[in-house]
Chain A
Amino acid sequence: MINKPYIRLKNVSKVFGENPDSVIELVKNDIDKNELQNDYSHVIGLQNINIDIPKNKIQVFMGLSGSGKSTLIRHLNQLIRPTSGEIIVNNINVTELNKKDLINFRRENFAMVFQKFALLPHRTVLSNTYFGLQIRGVKSPELENTAKYWIDKVGLDGFENYHPNQLSGGMQQRVGIARALANDAPILLMDEPFSALDPLIRIEMQDMLITLQKELKKTIVFITHDLDEALKLGDNIAILRDGKIIQSGTGQDIILNPHDSYISNFTAQVNRGKVIECEKVMKKLSKDTFSKITIKKETKLEEAVRIMISSNINEVDVLNSKKKYIGTVHLNDVMASIINPIDEQ
């Protein structure tokens, strides 16, 4: 990563139970989760988490329920305090902040979107949206104007005076997102924001987030249990299991080189053509004449197949961002990469 880390977690561990400090050394020394649970009746939330989260990117944490992903995201804004370790956000160690500084730090740096929306049921869409601003002491009319702007942005124009219970789940989460964006905090924490929504609405919301992010370029930490969602949104993906990060990298890295069978079980279900880019498949040839049709190195395999078939060709040249030739992809290689490597399983 070229970007310097914006959020850094150093050896973060979280233990739940009567006396977490009594077992923290064991946890640091990599004790097994089950052993700790059976012999010491403490539960591991997170174990020795180390990760750098770059600025202005979408960092996804993926894991099944109980993997510690919701615990992890709550450590960033200290809704949960770690048992040990450091969490550095924008050069500030948030674990050392006192209560008052922490409140201010949250106001200035974080906005959060929740799985179950967590809207204020007694407030309208408008006053839900300006909640974060109100907390920070912003006054009317800036309060309403900013809220109104973001309500329009998320496509809820005209619903300002509705109450949350009058809206569908998708619309409620749009309010949740408007509330988070209205705050104009540099870091957006999203805890499974789309998991409670219908599949079609979920895709709509993902597309909306991608569109918004192109414009906003916030640092987004996104939690999901859905690998497809992770691959679609994440610039970087970290996979959690039992409170540990078992693999971290780009979507392609994870698909092409799954760390273990646990991850390859997930990746087997994935549409690889939508994730892998031509750069990974191309072969550099020394040639003088180039094909008329060319593609960019970031082009996904599925798109490359579509181009080749529609133009009735079986190989196409790949150009880098400076429009320089860097390689050629062949239809056969592309197809071979799209189908799942069954033998490896």
Chain B
Amino acid sequence: MSILTEFPSIDTETLRSLKKTIDSSFLNFSRNYGDNIESFFDPIRFLLIESEQFLINTPWPIIMAIIAIIAWLGSKNIKIVLSVIIILALIGYFDMWENTMKTISITFVAAFLAIVIGIPIGILMAKSNHFQRAMNPVLDVMQTMPSFVYLIPVVMLLGIGKIPGLIAVVVYSIPPMIRLTNLGIRLVNQAVIEAADSYGASNSQKLIYIQIPLALPTIMAGINQTIMLALSMVVIASMIGVTGLGQPVLLAIQNQYFTLGIFNGFAIVGIAIVFDRISQAYGKRIQESHGTADDK
């Protein structure tokens, strides 16, 4: 009767050897190819270090001015620009400027990679139902697998540092980019596509002249989500050596420094608000320039 009370599982010995085999073969793999894979990521490491150096070494008033100008170009809204300046000033005043710059740097590089990789994948998913069916479970895994779990193989391969942290952030933040690009293109009015077909538009012309412009508001929402997720990942990524606002938070958790945690936590919230308001205001402006409604 024990079969009902206890789930029939494979015996401990087999299970142990199974785990052992997988672990040791992966270890061998990472020993043999770790260096190659690491050098593959060199350009990204270069990008990451350069952007961090730029943000830290440039005098703070210039950085602040640049961010304020970006906020203005994105939103054309003086209120948003002012709140961006106030948030940055508060962060600097509480001595978190350098860490904030490091976080902005990795967030930007991660978001940039997520966009560059995510949009083409999203377009392919929209074009091919087969590819969509194949990608969906992959995206589900990326979104729900606890991030600690996929940190393990990344760290085994590449050790502790910026690159594994960046990979973890990109993996975690890319799914909304892919999903919303796919959705945006699929939601484009079929009548408009038919009209383009009737005038002899090729697939790439349809994509460039119609599908991407009309999907742009949805794609912008994806970019916004990607940036937010990337930011929320920096604390977890700090466990494997990503510097920035995450590290003091980690320190605060380990030592129960309440105020340190709160300050740095709020700094993350602050830059999240900055990114969010700018990208949302930009998305809204695109939508308005498209006209508020489709022809129904």
Question: Residues of A at under 8 Å CB distance from B?
Answer: 77, 79, 103-108, 110-112, 114, 116-122, 131-132, 134-136, 163-166, 172, 183, 189
Contacts and interface: CB of A to CB of B under 8 A. Distances in A.
Contacts of A112: 195, 198-199
A180 to B, nearest CB: 9
A106 B202 CA distance: 11
Contact of B199 (A106, A122, A166): A106
Interface stretch (B152-160, B207-215, B269-277): B207-215
A189 B198 CA distance: 10
Contacts of A118: 189, 191-192, 194-195, 295
Interface string B180-191: 000000000101
17 contacts: A79-B194, A79-B197, A103-B202, A107-B199, A108-B200, A111-B199, A116-B295, A118-B295, A122-B214, A122-B291, A131-B199, A132-B200, A134-B209, A135-B199, A135-B200, A136-B200, A165-B295
B73 interface: no
B295 A164 contact: yes
Given A163-B291, A164-B295, A110 B209 contact: no
Nearest to B295: A117
B209 A165 contact: no
B53 interface: no
B296 interface: yes
Contacts of B196: 131, 135
Given A79-B194, A111-B198, 20 more contacts: A79-B198, A106-B199, A107-B200, A110-B198, A112-B198, A112-B199, A114-B195, A116-B191, A116-B296, A118-B192, A118-B194, A120-B210, A121-B189, A121-B293, A121-B295, A122-B214, A122-B291, A131-B196, A135-B196, A164-B291
B205 interface: yes
Question: Which residue, B189, B290, B295, has most C-beta atoms of chain A within 10 A?
Answer: B295
From B192, B194, B200, B289, name the one whose CB has the most chain A CB atoms within 10 angstroms: B200
Contacts of B291: 121-122, 163-166
B200 to A, nearest CB: 4
B286 to A, nearest CB: 9
Interface of B: 189, 191-192, 194-202, 205, 209-210, 213-214, 289-296
Contacts of B191: 114, 116, 118
**Max chain B Cβ within 10 angstroms of own Cβ: one of A107, A108, A118, A166:** A118
B112 to A, nearest CB: 25
A103 B198 contact: no
Contacts of A103: 200-202
A102 to B, nearest CB: 8
B250 to A, nearest CB: 45
Quick one: which of B194, B291, B292 has the most chain A CB within 10 A?
Answer: B291
A165 B200 contact: no
A239 B36 CA distance: 72
A72 to B, nearest CB: 14
A132 B199 contact: yes
Contacts of B289: 122
B293 to A, nearest CB: 5
A165 B296 CA distance: 10
A114 B198 CA distance: 10
Nearest to B198: A112
A104 B199 CA distance: 9
